[in-house]
Chains A and B, each alone.
Chain A
Amino acid sequence: MKNFYMGIDVGSVSTNIVILDEENNIVWKKYLRTQGKPIDILKEGLKEVRKELGDIDIKGVGTTGSGRQLAGLILGADVVKNEITCHAVSALDFMPDIKTIIEIGGQDSKIIIIRDGIVVDFAMNTVCAAGTGSFLDRQAFRLGVGIEQFGKLALKSDNPVRIAGRCAVFAESDMIHKQQLGHNQEDIIWGLCQALVRNYLNNVGKGKEILGPIAFQGGVAANEGIKRAFEDTLKQEVFIPKDFDVMGAVGVGLLAKAEVKRKKTTSFKGLNISNIDYKVRGMECNDCANLCEVIEIQEGNNILARYGDKCGKWTNSIKDSSKLA
């Protein structure tokens, strides 16, 4: 029987699942909306794996993304890793001599600087919407253009319009203003792509030495307009991996594989967790002025984990809750 490894990236908006084979090929991938119900979505995801691939032999599992701790607990992950490390690992697998990774997703963006195959610097933006995919979605909607056509239309522009990109609110009002002045749609769209890239380079990329080869990953990499805007500004080619939209999951899958090779066993609970009943319960602790929101996860009748307490009195009452949770 063939060996497979699973990587899962649980973000606030989407949950990505990939299955890798022994040669690091992606044999299956799935994108699901998290919808604030990470546990249900995980179960649904695993059900689909079984339905489409059968009862394959999964030798190792890794989780990443903002919901990594929770997903790791529920699945019995071998590796639980932050997104930065995972993106770096998958980009290095894609291109071993990579020097810069640009990652733009729906809700956040990152830059990772790599030299000689190791991460030497990184930055994340989780505050300003103007540098992320949700900003583009919103503007596409406003212009009445499908986000899929956005990139193609941008490339048709021959008379770019400059749109202020410093902040999402300004960009939006500036765009409306340019629309009213009668600029055509392609030019405005191209202007938006340039504004996003400028915003990214000024905020996330501030003070970073961006050298090539450059990889561009995350959902926004689907947008040819943004790719072109980066290439124009950075004056060099930007490489997009085939599976640009699931690179976090791929990275943690690779890490899981390496970890399992080392420890020679997996802690994965198996694909049938979709049959287990999980309950999440929130409660407010009144024992001191912090009034923490403590979250408890139950697996059947067992308490799997508690977290959210400042003092550790709830977390420590259970044995294997992870440290940084």
Chain B
Amino acid sequence: MCKIGIPRGMFFYDYFPLWKEFFQELGIEIIVSSKTNKEILNLGISSCVDEACLPVKIFHGHVEYLKDKVDYIFIPRIMSIDRMEYCCPKVLGLPDMIRYSIGKLPPIIDTQINLRKSNNKYKKSIYDTGKLLGKDFWEIKKAYKKAEKSYERYIYLLNKGVVPIEAIKIYDKVFKDINYSSEHNELTIMVVGHSYSIYDEYLNMNLISKLMSNNIKVITPEMINKEKINRYSNKLPKRMFWTHGKRIVGSAFSLIEEQKIDGIIYLSSFGCGMDSVLVDLVERKAIKAEIPFTLLTLDEQTGEAGVNTRIEAFIDMMKWRNRDENNISAFR
């Protein structure tokens, strides 16, 4: 049986349930690279150009990890995933960048996903991908239908308040009993940033689980429904042309305006051009609404101790504030 490798990075965290179902339905074995670890990070750093952002470097590492284990590697060329919108230039060029910097690769399936103008092209790319793997029209159509279903289920879970790391775990069939966030959390924090930063637990040093183990409820952009994201991002004076950007700004704005959160942690990668604009938008909005905001900028040199101190201080600040509102003496 032919094996397709799926690197656990970049858009993996957005679309894995879709891809997985599609390929499996076509009777193809998929191999996902293991979770990011030190070895993968180091492989990525040594093969990728130095100027790239951390998520792109890590993605390189995942490809390195897979390249000798599979017959194909799936790296879709994601141009646009919504009408009149684009992805970051580094995402657009990802398959080329990989080909250029990593030697001895198996063939790359770089299905072009471009929904900027219409859906038809998208359908064609799906059929092309299936055909490449020797499948016929009806097989492909059926597989895609099923994949869409499972993707919808995934989105449904997210909108129900399951943090995507947990939701992906359900699909990995590793994790059985996810706890739907309880009502008894002392604080609710939004963790905002690109999906591949906030759900890669190695990259962000387990930020989400650290917060959750401190009895904090975590909300991420992917947990906000699309309609709401559109409504709130439309309030920007200028249209947001980046899909992730729209999601980040729209979800953050909605939670800020609805006063549903005690604080925001923005997780950014050093050197991310898109973030330099987004962080500013979110921060300003948060300050106006008097919601605590903090920015964590990560690269491969970031030390965990410093990050922990920041998170701790941030949590203290919010608890202190809440206690103050309840008129209990200032500190402790």
Using CB atoms and an 8 Å cutoff, list the residues of chain A in contact with chain B: 66, 81-85, 89, 92, 116-122, 124, 126, 207, 254-255, 258-259, 262, 288-292, 310, 323-324
Contacts and interface: CB of A to CB of B under 8 A. Distances in A.
Contacts of A121: 292-293, 317
CB-based closest 7 A-B pairs: A84-B313, A289-B39, A258-B332, A82-B312, A289-B37, A290-B37, A119-B317
A291 B331 contact: no
13 contacts: A82-B309, A84-B309, A85-B320, A117-B324, A117-B330, A118-B324, A119-B320, A119-B321, A121-B293, A121-B317, A124-B310, A126-B303, A289-B34
Given A289-B34, A324-B312, A258 B214 contact: no
A211 B306 CA distance: 27
Given A122-B317, A259-B332, A289-B38, A83 B214 contact: no
A309 B18 CA distance: 33
A82 B316 contact: yes
Contact of B305 (A66, A258, A262, A289): A66
Contacts of B324: 116-118
A120 B306 contact: no
B34 A124 contact: no
Contact of B311 (A117, A118, A324): A324
Highest count of chain A CB atoms <10 Å: which of B214, B321, B331: B331
Interface in B292-328: 292-294, 303, 305-306, 308-313, 316-317, 320-321, 324
A124 B313 CA distance: 11
A291 B311 contact: no
A124 B332 CA distance: 23
Interface of B: 34, 37-40, 202, 206, 210, 213-214, 283, 290, 292-294, 303, 305-306, 308-313, 316-317, 320-321, 324, 330-332
A262 B321 CA distance: 20
B330 A323 contact: no
Contacts of A291: 38-39
B147 to A, nearest CB: 30
Contacts of A82: 309, 312-313, 316
